Structure 1
Amino acid sequence: MRGRVTLATVASSAGVSVATVSKVLNGRSDVSAATRARVQEVLRQHDYVGRRPEPTERATVELFFQGVMTSYSMEVITGVLEEARAAGVDVVLSSRPRVPPTSRTAQWVRELTAAGRRAAIGVTSDLTAADLAALSRARLPLVVVDPLNVAQPDVTSVGSTNFAGGLAATQHLLSLGHRKIAYLGGPPAAGCNQARMNGFRGAMEAAGAPVPVDYVRLHDFLYGDGLAGGTALLDLAEPPTAIFAGSDEVALGVMEAARARGLRVPEDLSIVGFDDTQVARLASPPLTTVRQPLQEMGAVALRTALRLAAGEKVDSHHVELATNLVIRESSAAPAREPSIAVS
């Protein structure tokens, strides 16, 4: 097993002094470009991330998200920022690519530690084993809100009761009389998506309502996925009378797919979303949806990150906040099929 890499190790490999390596790590300007490049290359080769500097008077937390900024992520970010203001903490917002190059991982963590970050919070982030290992080596606490893919079970995360939400959404549609109900969800590997889908399947099974293979489609939680998935579902030989969408933005995409086909919501098609973001209230008609306490999830993530940074233990590595169904105008009883006269 390779021993711990120290500043002396890096300095020896680069042929410079320990003080010079320290200057490069701290972004000092009194180092030549050639020397800086040589030291940075050795740092990369040794996968050196360093340790967090001693806390300054005012803590700073890195808040990062991956992929496209959505109404969902904006709600969570708002919760983090409001809680940070109350706690007297600074927040730096950044974005990372969904699949960052492995070579960038150690450099990313080095930049966070050099900048004095106390902790990092990821919003719907897809973190690799390399990301988690680098953060652990730097002793930089991490909290993830609705992780898309967690490589280690002990990563601290904050979410909601997604299974219960999926169950409630589907039971609502069943109570209205629907039996042809489809699920249009997010990334297959995402824990939140799996829980919502399992809630959907559980409710359908309990009601004795079959779920055709074509009635479950998974891609992402974005508007375009709702438009494409809704189009495919409505073009089936036997289209569903109701669609449970894995997010509000997916639900709005389904609404557009229905409108393009001359279908009315909810008279011809009922739609239920998930999140209860602002777009749910602004939709036409207003969207029936499962409410996640997104701002509170952000606030809990910030409080948890600060506790970890202070060396405190948390009661659980995963916190789930309660969801509840908000009924609006996008769901109704299915249209009655015309009766067939018997001669």
Structure 2
Amino acid sequence: MARGLGKVGIKDVAGAADVSVSTVSHVLNGTAPISAEVRERVLNAANALGYLAQRRNKAAISVLRTVLLAVPSDALPLNDYNLYSWSLLSALSRECERRAIRIVPFEIDKPGLGGAVLVEAARKAEADGILLLNDDRPELLREIAKSGIPAVLMNGEDHEMQVDSVTPGNRFAARHATDWLIGQGHRTILHMTWEGRATIRRRHDGFLEAFRVNGIAPDHARIALAEGFLPHLGERAMLAWLDQHDGLDGVTAIFCAADNLALGVIEALNRRGIAMPTDVSVVGFDGVALGEFTNPPLTTVAVPLQHMGMSALNLLELRIVNATLSPPAHRLELGCRLIVRKSVRSLP
């Protein structure tokens, strides 16, 4: 059990592991070969005493002091439809406060704003690093990479791998959700999505991949495109699809690329007298909208938004600490989890 009072020192770890202080130092710093049994004993003692967490916290506070946070304007202020970005930013703010890191906000989508302006703002703020939310324009990322300022892209993909990035495992999570639907007996499934950024296309890719790995003909994987992710656009697209196909046309489940879309889909189904899940099952993605309050509650894929900011700060820290090594860009994907509620029924 970690100690609640006072700081834990390397001598405490050595005593708990019944080894010398120098052995603990070698294990923690990787400066000498140590047997697997002794190494495990030292790490277990350091973790139980809270020494590892203490070291991590100390490093984070000393390395990062100020970060420039570049966000799109639609992430602020809080409303019912930007809960994804808002939840991510709220968790990031709490983590920065815990680590005593100052945040300098910067709206990235102002007219005429390019990478050079962003870099200049970071230098003016004397920022140790840049956190960039959602905006993965290649020209913007090139300017940031060229500046040499440590940067992490959150919820986006850098196809040229010039800057570090952290994102949900969108493809794997979508494949898992679709595979689970198939396991519930569903074979003809509609994917409601929109022409979004690469992160949304990964969800589309995972949906299709589930059909391939299960040996189901591709014509059972239906696609419907909304004009955007807002609920009213999902409702409009669903109504249009139902009109075009004279009803569900054999579809027994709808997998939506965002919870907001799922809310619109549910409204469209209600308008046409189609019951969920009796007539059709519905699954969302994100886990932050009002899905738990729908009737019935929405099954969804929960994105670990509470951890994305923390992971981004850790990547920034590593980039600064290892600056002299010029390490290649890291792309970190975080695992998502399926939350099963009452909006899906199993088929024979």
Is the TM-score greater than 0.5?
yes
Task: Judge conservation of contact 2:189–2:220 (CA < 8 Å) in 1.
Answer: no
- What is the letter of the counterpart of residue 325 of structure 1? L
Output the CA distance in 1 between the equivalents of 2:130 and 2:67.
Answer: 6
Which of 194, 197, 210 is equivalent to 2:204?
197
What is the identity, as a one-letter code, of the residue corresponding to 1:109?
Answer: V
Establish whether residue 124 from structure 1 lines up as the match of residue 137 from structure 2: no
Q: CA deviation at 1:310?
A: 4.3
Residue 314 of structure 2 aligns with an amino acid whose one-letter code is R
Q: Deviations over 1:242-262 (max 9, x none)?
A: 111111111112112212222
- Uncovered stretches (5+) of structure 1, i.e. residues with no partner: 1-55, 337-343
| Residue number in structure 2 paired with 1:37 | none
2:63 matched to 1:64? Answer: no
2:189 corresponds in structure 1 to 181
Flag the 1:278–1:183 CA change in 2: closer, same or farther, 3 A.
Answer: closer
Residues 1:63 and 1:280: Cα distance change in structure 2 (over 3 Å): farther
Q: Is the CA contact 1:84–1:90 (under 8 Å) kept in the aligned structure 2?
A: yes
Within 5 Å, which residues of 2 pair with 1:1-343? 59-66=65-72, 68-69=74-75, 70-97=82-109, 100-101=111-112, 104-129=114-139, 131-147=140-156, 150=158, 152-187=160-195, 190-205=197-212, 206-211=214-219, 215-217=223-225, 219-235=227-243, 236-237=245-246, 239=248, 240-312=251-323, 317-333=330-346
Residues 57 and 171 of structure 1: is their aligned pair in 2 closer, same or farther, counting only changes over 3 Å? closer
**Preserved CA contact (<8 Å) 1:113 1:138:** no
Q: How far apart, CA to CA, are the structure 2 residues paired with 1:263 and 1:113?
A: 56
* Aligned counterparts of 2:185 and 2:203: Cα–Cα separation in 1: 21
Q: Which ranges of structure 2 fall in alignment gaps of 5 or more residues? A: 1-61, 76-81
Deviation at residue 303 of structure 1 after TM alignment = 2.0
Cα deviation code 1:254-308 (max 9, x no counterpart): 1122122222222222111111115232333221011221110121012212332
Letter of the 1:175 counterpart: G
Is the alpha carbon distance of 1:158 and 1:230 closer, same or farther for their aligned partners in structure 2, counting shifts above 3 Å? same
Q: Residues 123, 228 of structure 1: CA spacing in aligned structure 2 closer, same or farther, 3 A cutoff? A: farther
Asked if the contact 2:68–2:125 (Cα under 8 Å) also holds between the matched residues in 1, the reply is no
The DSSP-based 3-state class of the residue aligned with 2:219 is coil
Give the AA of the match of 1:187: E
Greater fraction of residues in helix? 2
AA aligned opposite 2:270: R
Listed one character per residue, the Cα deviations across residues 212-233 of structure 1 (whole Å, up to 9, x for unaligned) are: 6863436543334322322233
User: C-alpha separation between the residues in 2 aligned to 1:57 and 1:301?
Assistant: 14
Q: Distance in 2 between matches of 1:314 and 1:226?
A: 42
Shift of 1:57: 9.9
Q: Could you report, residue by residue, the CA deviation over 1:15-42 in whole angstroms, capped at 9, with x for unpaired residues? A: xxxxxxxxxxxxxxxxxxxxxxxxxxxx
Supply the distance in 1 between the matched residues of 2:283 and 2:222 (Cα, whole angstroms).
18
| 8 Å CA contact 2:130, 2:150 repeated in 1 | yes
Measured against aligned partners, the alpha-carbon deviations of 1:102-155 in whole angstroms (never above 9, x if no partner) come to: 6x44233212211222211122223231x22332343222211221x6352232
Q: How many residues align?
A: 275
Distance apart, 1:169 and its partner CA: 1.3
Does structure 1 conserve the Cα–Cα contact (< 8 Å) formed by 2:70 and 2:131? yes
Aligned-partner SS, 1:306:
helix
Runs of 4+ in 1 over 4 A off after TM superposition: 310-316
Equivalent position SS for 2:67:
strand
- Provide the residue aligned with 1:42 in structure 2: none
Q: Bigger CA drift: 206-215 or 239-248?
A: 206-215
- Residue type matched to 1:303 in 2? N
Identity %: 28
RMSD of aligned residue pairs (Cα, Å): 2.8
